[in-house]
Amino acid sequence: MSDFTRDDLLEKARAAHDSAVRLRRYQEKDRRNAILAIKDALIASRADILKANEKDIVAARRHDLSEAMIDRLTLTESRLRSLADALQTIAESQPVLGRIDEQHTRADGLIVQKKRIPLGVIGVIFESRPNVLIDCTALAIKSGNAILLKGGSDAAHSNAILGQLVQGAMAPFIPRESVQVIPSGDRQLTMEMVKLVGLIDLIIPRGGEGLIRMIQEHARIPVIAHAKGLCHLYIHADAPLDKARAIALNAKVQRPSVCNAIETMLVHEQHAGAYLSDLLRALTEAGVRLRVDEKIWQLGPESGWEKAVAEDWDTEYLDKILSVRLVASEDEAIDHILQHGSHHTEAIVCQDQGVIQKFEDALDSSCLAINASTRFNDGGELGLGAEIGISTTKLHAYGPMGARELTTTRFVVQGTGHCRS
């Protein structure tokens, strides 16, 4: 159990709040230099980071965490270099602060602008993936916000060393107090954190459904939820079969432990013969366990199949498990997604533009992938460098949240002595 107390939490929150006020006076070059310094420190300290991460992995195996969860926890040389590349992208991206989103000039010559400004202090509560700490820090710096980060106990060693690295690297350029890492502790501290009205402006939870629900129920601060990724792939009757096969394997197998991997595949019943058998066999050969509906079960069953139960259609497995259902039409596929989806990512493989448009018009999710894998719903893949989360709550952002989504706008009016009549 951590010795970190509520008073310690308040001290860090106040320090972040005070830093947020001071950050407004810093320039884009300062923010850029801070992010690039973190990138350099990340590469220079990678041996120590991997050593700390190994302690978390050993503890995870001791506590019998699944291989999928251990994958989320694991840092490697390759993943650290990808993090460094993301930091470079964020640092070099166009400034967001001070950007004029709208401008018009009134008949009397008064200029009216809407300019981007920081939100203030962002609170991020996350589980497992220690790379989240680096991504979120860089985006907070880029957008001129202070940030409090509270990770889970499963990544305690990794988060501790990354927090120290970040603060040390950024200190010559911007206030080190603007990034605060809360040591892992009991959930009571999380409950205290989400009630710090006046010190934290926004809470972004990233974790399991239970954590997010708990925060939404107890928070007194606005919450943008990164809810579960119950993602679907629909293979239409006219789908190019080789492309559909490649997309299905990529969307499920490449990294099944992440939120943009598919959990359910819907296949038009026209494919219920040799093609479906070949596709399902390819998935099982890749290590995927299948939960199939009654129609598919009647075609087999084969090794690696289980009969799907009602709960399967609402389950985010985060593992090499996939629910599969035959549907008679795109309308049946859409109805299934509307009933069971989580507003994260939905994909279709199809050539008929009318069907694609129907799919796009009917579904309400943060990202639609048309003839592409759901794995592209990611801040790095979509050009943001990284993401602080994938919002499934729409206000005030929807989908991957980059630096721009951590700002708001205010009006600036410029006159030449104008007075209202």
User: What pLDDT is recorded for position 395?
Assistant: 84
User: What pLDDT is recorded for position 210?
Assistant: 86
Q: What is the 3-state secondary structure (H, E, C) of 167-233?
A: HHHHCCCCCHHHEEEECCCCHHHHHHHCCCECCECEEEEECCHHHHHHHHHHCCCCECCECCCCEEE
Domains, the chain, ranges and CATH?
6-224+401-414 (3.40.605.10), 231-376 (3.40.309.10)
Phi/psi at 22 (nearest 5 deg)?
A: -70, -30
User: What pLDDT is recorded for position 2?
Assistant: 62
Nearest to 173 by CA among 14, 41, 13: 41
For residues 303 and 284, the answer to whether their CB atoms sit within 8 Å is yes
**371 CB neighbour count, 10 Å cutoff:** 15
Instruction: Please compute, for residue 225, the number of CA atoms within 13 A of its CA located in the half-sphere on the CB side.
Output: 19
Q: Which helix (H) or strand (E) holds 166?
A: helix 156-170
User: What pLDDT is recorded for position 396?
Assistant: 87
For residues 296 and 266, the answer to whether their CB atoms sit within 8 Å is no
Q: What is the 3-state secondary structure (H, E, C) of 83-126?
A: HHHHHHHHHHCCCCCCCEEEEEECCCCCEEEEEEEECCEEEEEE
Nearest to 372 by CA among 390, 343, 348, 353: 348
User: What pLDDT is recorded for position 132?
Assistant: 94
Type of residue numbered 13: A
What is the token pair recorded at 261?
Answer: 């991997």
Helices (H) and strands (E) in the chain, counts: 14, 16
Whether the CA torsion 336, 339, 345, 351 is positive or negative: it is: positive
Burial 324-361 (b: 16+ CB within 10 A, else e): bbbbeebebbbebbeebbbbbbbbbbbeeeebbebbee
User: What pLDDT is recorded for position 400?
Assistant: 95
Instruction: Please compute, for residue 410, the number of CA atoms within 13 A of its CA located in the half-sphere on the CB side.
Output: 6
Which value, in Å, is the radius of gyration of the alpha carbons in the chain? 23
Per the rule left: phi > 0, alpha: psi between -120 and 50, beta: everything else, 246 is alpha
Nearest to 28 by CA among 143, 120, 107, 168: 143
Nearest to 193 by CA among 208, 175, 181: 181
**CA gap 375, 381 in Å, rounded:** 9
Cβ burial of 252 (10 Å; 0-12, 13-18, 19+) is buried
Angle at 284 between CA 282 and CA 290, to 5 degrees: 120
Laid out side by side, the sheet with 111-118 consists of 100-105, 111-118, 407-414
1 three-state secondary structure: coil
Global pTM value: 0.92
Q: What is the pLDDT along the chain (421 residues), one digit of tens a residue?
A: 468 899 999 999 999 999 999 999 999 999 999 999 999 999 999 999 999 999 999 999 999 988 888 998 999 999 999 999 999 999 999 999 999 999 999 999 999 999 999 999 999 999 889 999 999 999 999 999 999 999 999 999 999 999 999 999 999 999 999 999 998 767 889 999 999 999 999 999 988 888 889 999 999 999 998 878 999 999 999 999 999 999 999 999 999 989 999 999 999 999 999 999 999 999 999 999 999 999 999 998 889 999 999 999 999 999 999 999 999 999 999 999 999 999 999 999 999 999 999 999 999 999 999 999 999 999 999 999 999 999 998 888 999 999 999 999 999 999 999 999 9
User: What pLDDT is recorded for position 225?
Assistant: 86
Laid out side by side, the sheet with 367-370 consists of 305-307, 289-292, 321-327, 262-268, 231-235, 345-349, 367-370
330 three-state secondary structure: helix
What torsion, rounded to 10 degrees, do the Cα atoms 264, 349, 227, 50 define?
A: 90
